[in-house]
Amino acid sequence: MFYLSVRHPKLKQPALLLIALSGLILFLLLAPSLWGGYARILLFTILLYVTMAVSYDVVGGMLGYLYLGHGLFFGLGAYITALALKNGQTLPLALLLGAFLVLPVAAFLSLPLFRLQGAVFALATLGLLLLGGQLASNLPDLTGGAAGLSLPPNTNPMLTYSLALLLALATVLMHWLLCSSSLGLQLSSINENEDMAESVGINCAKVKRLALIISAVPAAMAGGLHAREISFVIPAEAFGLENSLAPLLMCLLFKPGTTWGPLLGALVLSTAQEFIWTTVPSFRLSLYGILLIFIGMQRARRSYHWALGTKH
């Protein structure tokens, strides 16, 4: 694989990092049995958000497109996994099926989508998300329509939780490797100047297609895990705007294009969200709104400084 030839990222203290990482994994695996069900659900939600935010970053951060369609793949994954589970498949198999079926969808959608740029790209991806929700409620025989699909109760919550942990770790690792691979470099060069990238021989269409696929697969698996966890899928939630916006905010909040940026954003924002849910539930959408306005104004200022050639 030429695209994923990794230029050995330098680690300052690999042994220390390895110990810390295995300690973290052990802690996350033991936490549910130490603190019970609520801790498990809370950590599960945070792990899904980490997966979503870090996978969003491949298109939204490294490639630098304003991308509002991440929730589409989340919803597709949720529905495919739910249908597979209903037909008696095991959870890992159902998740893999979701990931596998989302691949051609992402590859196909990238063809028309990446003809567009900037704001129009954002609008088109938002339209696709709405279209997904509409399709799910229009096909009542397959998806149960607006009333949704309900699954048999979750018999093995620890399996769902461990799979979420595995998925989050795999996504973060993939993103970290991607950052230092040639594909990652190509993505950031497209981000900085697309025409220039094309002129030095990068096949922009192909690279962008790969980016969309790489970001879609973890999102689909996260959607599948979410469907299993709550045993219930409805169009309004599976294809909800929040599934696109939460990863976007988490990614753009700190430093898009790095691994730690979306990771930290996901941790901070999902904790904040949990706090708001339990104290002032009616403030949830407004928090998104305020953050969006804040990030938008920041962005406008930054591009102004770039245009003037002054660092800020």
Q: Which residues bind other proteins (CB under 8 A)?
A: 66, 112-113, 115-120, 122-124, 126-128, 130-131, 134-135, 137-138, 241, 245, 282-286, 288-297, 299-301, 303-304, 307
Compare residues 20 and 196 and give the one whose CB is closer to other proteins: 196
Compare residues 35 and 277 and give the one whose CB is closer to other proteins: 277
Residues 6+ apart with CB under 8 A from 282: none
Q: What is the 3-class SS of the chain, one letter each residue?
A: CCCCCECCCCCCCHHHHHHHHHHHHHHHHHHHHHHCHHHHHHHHHHHHHHHHHHHHHHHHHHCCCCCCCHHHHHHHHHHHHHHHHHCCCCHHHHHHHHHHHHHHHHHHHHHHHCCCCHHHHHHHHHHHHHHHHHHHHHCHHHHCHHHCEECCCCCCHHHHHHHHHHHHHHHHHHHHHHHCEHHHHHHHHHHHCHHHHHHCCCCHHHHHHHHHHHHHHHHHHHHHHHHHHHCEECHHHHCCCHHHHHHHHHHHHCCCCCCHHHHHHHHHHHHHHHHHHHHCHHHHHHHHHHHHHHHHHHHHHHHHHHHHCCCC
Compare residues 52 and 225 and give the one whose CB is closer to other proteins: 52
Residues 6+ apart with CB under 8 A from 38: none
Q: At its nearest, how many Å lie between other proteins and the CB of residue 23?
A: 38
Q: At its nearest, how many Å lie between other proteins and the CB of residue 279?
A: 15
Q: At its nearest, how many Å lie between other proteins and the CB of residue 278?
A: 18
Compare residues 100 and 294 and give the one whose CB is closer to other proteins: 294
Compare residues 125 and 160 and give the one whose CB is closer to other proteins: 125
Q: At its nearest, how many Å lie between other proteins and the CB of residue 8?
A: 35
Compare residues 33 and 138 and give the one whose CB is closer to other proteins: 138
Compare residues 26 and 147 and give the one whose CB is closer to other proteins: 147
Q: At its nearest, how many Å lie between other proteins and the CB of residue 285?
A: 4
Compare residues 275 and 283 and give the one whose CB is closer to other proteins: 283
CA separation for the pair 52, 24 (Å, rounded): 20
Compare residues 7 and 305 and give the one whose CB is closer to other proteins: 305
254 neighbors 265 (Cβ within 8 angstroms): yes
CB atoms within 10 A of CB 135: 16
Q: At its nearest, how many Å lie between other proteins and the CB of residue 199?
A: 16
Q: At its nearest, how many Å lie between other proteins and the CB of residue 11?
A: 35
Q: At its nearest, how many Å lie between other proteins and the CB of residue 251?
A: 12
56 neighbors 175 (Cβ within 8 angstroms): no
Q: At its nearest, how many Å lie between other proteins and the CB of residue 202?
A: 20
